[in-house]
Chain A
Amino acid sequence: MTVSADGKRADSGTPLLEVRDLVVHHGQLRAVDAVSLRVLPGEVYAIIGANGAGKSTLMRTIAGLHHPTSGSVLFDGTDVTGLRPERRAARGIVMVPEGRRLFGSLSVEENLKVGATYARQGPWTIEQVYEMFGWMRERRKQLTAQLSGGEQQTVALGRALVANPRVLLLDELSLGLAPVVVQRIYGMLPQILATGLTVLLVEQDVSQALRVASHIQCLLEGKTTLEGRPADVTADQVEAAYFGLAGAAPARPPGEGSEP
């Protein structure tokens, strides 16, 4: 069932996760505007875009935390648009939320235990997470507030993995982390994928996304502006899609920070 990252992506393939014409409003604002996407099993699908492009809103809607105005979310062929977040998690849609959102008064191990409480059957256990991140075992009794940002992000990742997701949603993994830490966390991705997961991620750091993804989709003001395999899109195309203007664009996205 796994399609390798460099394999042919046929549009007729059966997607594990599919979004159809999704429209999500934040009050009056049309945050996500008729976005569709098809994530094939085994893929690393990256949503890129600037601040306020609607990436996080899209992810939160897929996870069930926002209700769409119209459109639908399909998982493994069934419509999950009306399901609550916890029901989606039980089916295998698990998100690492933006800003990590660990349980601050719980220890590292307790955070993982909460993640494992309603876990599906699968390869990931707390022991498995400790195997992968050795330091975590030694510091399992610590409160997560005492960890560094990168360590917290790793615990958040571990908390999602022990639920044994079929599709893992990673929302702005790199936010507020040093580049070297981001590299290390993304470096774990192949190991995670090897257990049969599919990954849908949101990333503001375009070069990072292009490096890890098998498919990218760029959002601008809630609309899809570019879609394709990283190998098939040029830097100019990405730049134009990202900023919404062809050519003269700054080398870095302006105004780093969290989205509204």
Chain B
Amino acid sequence: MAWVNAIIQGVLIGGLYALFACGLSLMFGVMKVVNLAHGDLAVLAGYFAIGIIAVTHVPVLWSFVIVVPLMAVLGYVMQRTILQGALDRSVLTTLMVTFGLSVVIENGLLQFETANTRGIGVGLPLLTESFSVGSIQIAYLLVVIFATAVIVLLGLQYFLSRSKYGRLIRAVADDKEAAQLAGADYRHVFGIAAAIAFGTVALGGIAYGMYSQLSPTTGTDTILLFAFAAVVIGGLGSLWGTLLGGVVLGVAQQIGAQINLSDEILAGYIVFLAVLVLRPQGLISRGAQS
């Protein structure tokens, strides 16, 4: 029964990892930016939420309503300014710029918020509880996070496949010059993609703060790495691949923890490496399309 429990917990935590990963995947797929500050942005969003709750005493759920759009706007502005500036030079420059951004956010948080870990109180009594199926305890919070991830991915898929801007995002990802000839300003479209990426990872950061603890370094030592692993396992450029990748990573970690509590993280990376070696295109491959 312990193994079944590990798998169920792993699947549910995979939803959280998908929230980390989908924005990273989108930004790489559309503008070829590997955002090394992706995890730090999640942590930043978490600290924003902590700050807003502390100052205004709004219910925790309200923090999402404020922080997620705020981060989306930040994403648009950053893409139109420093990220676009880096892209205009070279793709390699974007690596250096996002790495620099990561260092700045992390040290900024250390400076103003100390190195202490912080949690986000869930607020709703129900979400701090769990229900049992047989002998397995399942936290409501994890179920809600998983459901949120599925809703976010469904929404993203609908947006990308049906809406005007979703279509433009895919067109620009295919051929930005041809999109320009059709009258589309690809920089604006990039900005929208970045807004989505920042918004989704903000959601992931706050959720992580509720599920666990945030510290200024959580972004690079946990969130970014898990996001990368989920993207690679699932398959680069595949939206649902990020959920599959997150779930596989989560299950591997929980099974590792079941074997030996200290092997949790290691087991996740072993699966990550195994996928890289055996199926580098990821579990869900986009096939011949580049």
A contact set with B: CB distance below 8 Å = 63-65, 84-86, 89-90, 94-95, 97, 101-106, 110-111, 113-115, 117-119, 145, 159-160, 163
- Minimal Cβ-Cβ distance residue in A for B188: A86
> With the chains together, A117 CA to B168 CA distance in Å?
9
- Smallest CB–CB gap between B75 and chain A, Å? 22
Interface residue from A104, A118, A145 paired with B182 (Cβ < 8 Å): A118
Question: Which chain B residues border A163 with CB–CB below 8 Å?
Answer: 182-183
B242-256, CB < 8 A from A = none
- Smallest CB–CB gap between A110 and chain B, Å? 6
Contact A65:B177 (CB < 8 A) given known A113-B167, A117-B164: yes
Question: Which chain B residues border A118 with CB–CB below 8 Å?
Answer: 182-184
- Cβ A85 vs Cβ B289 within 8 A: no
Question: Which chain A residues border B179 with CB–CB below 8 Å?
Answer: 103, 114
Question: Which chain B residues border A103 with CB–CB below 8 Å?
Answer: 170-171, 174-175, 178-179
Summarize B's interface: helix, strand, loop or mixed: helix
- Cβ B181 vs Cβ A104 within 8 A: no
- Cβ A86 vs Cβ B180 within 8 A: yes
B contact set with A: CB distance below 8 Å = 164, 167-168, 170-171, 173-175, 177-186, 288-290
Question: Which chain B residues border A119 with CB–CB below 8 Å?
Answer: 183
- Cβ A104 vs Cβ B177 within 8 A: no
- Smallest CB–CB gap between B191 and chain A, Å? 14
> With the chains together, A159 CA to B175 CA distance in Å?
14
- Cβ B177 vs Cβ A97 within 8 A: yes
- Minimal Cβ-Cβ distance residue in A for B161: A110
- Cβ A114 vs Cβ B168 within 8 A: yes
Contact A89:B182 (CB < 8 A) given known A103-B170, A105-B170, A110-B167: yes
- Smallest CB–CB gap between B62 and chain A, Å? 36
Question: Which chain A residues border B164 with CB–CB below 8 Å?
Answer: 113, 117
Further contacts, 19 of them, CB under 8 A, given A103-B174, A110-B170, A159-B182: A65-B181, A86-B181, A86-B184, A86-B185, A89-B182, A97-B178, A97-B181, A103-B170, A103-B175, A104-B174, A105-B174, A111-B171, A113-B167, A114-B179, A117-B167, A118-B182, A118-B183, A145-B288, A145-B289
